[in-house]
Amino acid sequence: MSPRFEATGLSRRFGRVQALDNADFDVDAGEVVALIGDNGAGKSTLVKALTGNLDLDAGEVRFEGEPVHFATPQDASRLGIEVVHQDLALAPHLDAAQNMFLGREVMRPGVLGHLGFMDTPQMRRRSAQAFTELGSAVRSVVVPVGSMSGGQKQTVAIARAVAWADKVLFLDEPTAALGVVQTRNVLDTIKKVRDRGIAVVLISHSMPHVLEVADRVQVLRLGRRVATYRGADTSVEELVGAMTGALDPKEGAA
């Protein structure tokens, strides 16, 4: 059976810089794959290419075995693929429920709905349910997101993405700038999302966090995948070595 989401031979050049050089990638359902690499290794270029934010020079992307092409992020959304960007893209003045359903509001039935009236109670109820299921630290769906802690904001962004993405979830540096307790909540959330059968791709600089939640770790260097490890079998030293090129592992070690 083919992986849920995979890419082979991706290449992209910006002027004289070869940002992606024949890179491969794959993630399966119910699995957390960490994507690591030094700055400039091509992590964000790869994520952009996989989510319809960037055109490719060469390469093939397959979703559940079928070749796909995403011209816009909305194309990826339609297949159940969402990204939680580092800036979270939340509207700080709106509350958690309003953010959760922004752009996808549930309308009142009948004439009122056609007039543009929203079904606020239902959106709040469903948001609360979503947060509960993720075991999130969010205690209210009716206070502005701007007044929440960094960890709570992160959970809102993840919950929003998960609510619409039941296939693949990309998380860009979700624990940067978070405290210890908040980081713990976010990592727990990631595990819960995985346990629901969603493929999770985690981009992070924090090796301990990567080792805690990742089932597999894929290392990018100079625009290509240089190594893949099992999260349970590897160590910080090994990962750092692979990232910097000090070790020269073979592709597909896992």
Can you tell me whether residue 186 is helix, strand or coil? helix
81 in contact with other proteins (CB under 8 A): no
Q: Which is nearer to other proteins, 38 or 105 (CB)?
A: 105
Task: Select the span of 42-50, 168-176, 196-204, 235-243 touching other proteins (CB under 8 A).
Answer: 196-204
Per-residue tokens: 126: 């469903």
5 in contact with other proteins (CB under 8 A): no
Least distance from C-beta 108 to other proteins, angstroms?
A: 9
Least distance from C-beta 253 to other proteins, angstroms?
A: 33
Best CA proximity match to 144, nearest among 98, 101, 94, 88: 94
Q: Which amino acid is at 216?
A: R
Is 181:151 a contact under the CB 8 Å cutoff? Answer: yes
Size of the site for other proteins (CB under 8 A): 57
Q: Which is nearer to other proteins, 46 or 169 (CB)?
A: 169
CA 86 to chain centre: 10
Least distance from C-beta 240 to other proteins, angstroms?
A: 33
184 in contact with other proteins (CB under 8 A): no
CA 219 to chain centre: 16
Can you tell me whether residue 133 is helix, strand or coil? helix
* Binding positions for other proteins, 212-241, rule CB under 8 A: none
Q: Which is nearer to other proteins, 134 or 226 (CB)?
A: 134
Is 241:210 a contact under the CB 8 Å cutoff? Answer: no
168 in contact with other proteins (CB under 8 A): no
Q: Which is nearer to other proteins, 123 or 239 (CB)?
A: 123
By DSSP bridging, strand 58-63 and strand 168-172 are unpaired
Can you tell me whether residue 200 is helix, strand or coil? strand
From candidates 62, 126, 184, 205, binder to other proteins by CB under 8 A:
126
Best CA proximity match to 65, nearest among 35, 29, 22, 31: 29
- Binding footprint of other proteins on the chain (CB under 8 A): 73-74, 77, 80, 85, 87, 89-94, 97-98, 102-105, 107, 115-118, 121, 124-136, 138-144, 146-147, 149, 162-166, 192, 195-198
